[in-house]
Amino acid sequence: MSIATLRRAARETVSGLPREFWWLWTSTLINRLGAFVATFMALYLTLDRGYSASYAGLVASVHGLGGVISAIAGGVMTDRLGRRPTLVIAQTSTALSVALLGFMTDPAAIVGVAFLVGMASNASRPAVQAMMADIVKPEDRVRAFSLNYWAINLGFAVSSMAAGFIAQYSYLAGFLGEATLTLICAVVVFLKLPESRPVRTAEEKVAEPSVGIGTVLRDGRFMGVVGLSFLISLIFQQGYVGLPIAMGTDGFSSADFGLAIAVNGILIVAVQLPITRYTQQRDPRQLLIVSALLAGYGFGLTAFAGSVAMYALTICVWTLAEIINAPTQTGLVVRLSPLHGRGRYQGVYTMSWSVAALLAPLLSGYVIDHFGAGWLWGTCAVLGTGTAVGYWALMRSLTATPAPANPANPADAARVRVEVRTDSGV
């Protein structure tokens, strides 16, 4: 492939997206560059503070519980207060709570502040997704979500390496560094991003019923997507929960695990964008089915891994599933979300991932302890197959109608009423 072809592909990947999207993308990248707490919390508690592994697990679970609660709260705030205020409040609160956590020494205080960090850090996710759907044209949303996912992984890859060096000298510096970068995100949002929440006219308020959490929970098709998202999230979580335990049981070191799992971030950064260019015009139903099968059987193959190279190969398989699934499923969520209820819908969707992150350590630990790692990988294959069947059954009746358009976008304004009416039955 020539240099000119690569340049043209790169230009096509990033062209046509509004300036507001790139400021939101920049905010995401900065935020993930400071991801210290999620990566090194367990090491900080056990090595630096001298607490037990059980206590570190408790703190991680409480942090995850905060994320589950704030997924819903953040969605409601996104619709009621707006995308921009929710982002500013969430990111400012995250910065303050992360900085505070670095100074906590009492065990109960650490648990309490970790809960606050989990709540604050997860509250911004529904707002980010809703704002992105507001400001990007329907035909460009999968590409936009893919670029955002790429920024998340690029930032995480860089922050993981940097945080490793920082932790050797001062864990407190890591906490304060994350707090500073998160506060910068809040400033970027406040200064550069206008509010994107669609304004409802008096006629629309009369014609369209208000959207509450109960509305979301009664939306059977959407909750089917949430349930399938939860299942595939349980599978992906094993890369960070079940896999290190299984490799340790097989006699591999933490350095071996680090070398193997690094393939995940490297592959996402390297091929996310070109793969998305190829898949964005493909049928999302087929993509979701394929991603579920790749995820399930990618982890299923782990049962046969006996070397770092084999583990890395299995990681390549389920990473491809992650690359395909993340932007495609997020685009589906936007499509099924009523225009004026995107925050709540995104909040419930985000909750599926948060609940999976909360339960995955408990479930995988139980399976490995009582049945062995082979049963865990077999379960992943079964879950992947079941999720693929679920996607097929759920999406058979979906039409090719695009997501509800943003009336703030002149190009979309003419389609708003028709598409909202079409999606209202979803």
Burial of 400 (0-12, 13-18, 19+ CB in 10 A): exposed
Q: Is residue 119 domain-shared with residue 233, that is, in the same domain? A: no
How many independent structural domains does the chain possess?
A: 2
Query: pLDDT tens for residues 349-381?
Result: 989 988 888 888 778 878 888 888 899 999 999
Q: Is residue 356 domain-shared with residue 222, that is, in the same domain? A: yes
> Is position 56 within any domain?
yes
CA dist 251 and 359 (Å) reads: 26
Using 70 as the pLDDT threshold, list the residues of the chain that sit under it: 1-13, 39, 43, 53, 160, 164, 200-209, 254, 397-426
* Contact status, residue 55 vs residue 323, Cβ threshold 8 Å: no
Q: Is residue 157 domain-shared with residue 74, that is, in the same domain? A: yes
The domain that contains 126 carries what CATH number? 1.20.1250.20
CA dist 349 and 336 (Å) reads: 11
> Is position 14 within any domain?
no
Tell me the helices (H) and strands (E) count for the chain, helix number first: 19, 0
CA dist 45 and 105 (Å) reads: 10
**Rama region for 50: left / alpha / beta (φ>0; ψ in -120 to 50; rest):** left
Q: Is residue 171 domain-shared with residue 280, that is, in the same domain? A: no
Give the per-residue pLDDT at 210.
Answer: 72
Domain boundary among 193, 220, 244: 193
> Is position 259 within any domain?
yes
Domain boundary among 193, 218, 247: 193
**Both structure tokens of 230:** 């939860």
Residue 230, domain extent = 206-426
Contacts of 411 (CB under 8 A, 6+ apart): 137
Q: Is residue 215 domain-shared with residue 346, that is, in the same domain? A: yes
Q: Is residue 185 domain-shared with residue 213, that is, in the same domain? A: no
For residue 56, the number of C-alpha atoms closer than 13 Å in the C-beta half-sphere is: 17
> Is position 198 within any domain?
no
> Is position 8 within any domain?
no
φ and ψ of 306, to 5 deg: -135, 5
* Contact status, residue 229 vs residue 349, Cβ threshold 8 Å: yes
Give the per-residue pLDDT at 417.
Answer: 34
Q: Is residue 262 domain-shared with residue 383, that is, in the same domain? A: yes
Q: What sign has the CA pseudo-torsion 367, 371, 372, 378?
A: negative
pTM: 0.76
Domain boundary among 166, 193, 220: 193
Query: pLDDT tens for residues 336-353?
Result: 888 778 889 988 998 998
* Contact status, residue 51 vs residue 109, Cβ threshold 8 Å: no
Q: Is residue 185 domain-shared with residue 218, that is, in the same domain? A: no
Q: Is residue 160 domain-shared with residue 264, that is, in the same domain? A: no
Give the per-residue pLDDT at 404.
Answer: 43
Give the per-residue pLDDT at 93.
Answer: 95
Contacts of 142 (CB under 8 A, 6+ apart): 276, 279, 280, 284, 327, 328, 331
How many CB atoms within 10 Å of residue 207?
13
Q: Is residue 224 domain-shared with residue 128, that is, in the same domain? A: no
How many CB atoms within 10 Å of residue 235?
27
> Is position 12 within any domain?
no
Angle between helices 19-33 and 107-135 (to 10 degrees): 160
Q: Is residue 105 domain-shared with residue 219, that is, in the same domain? A: no
CA dist 136 and 198 (Å) reads: 13
> Is position 336 within any domain?
yes
> Is position 213 within any domain?
yes
Q: Is residue 117 domain-shared with residue 261, that is, in the same domain? A: no
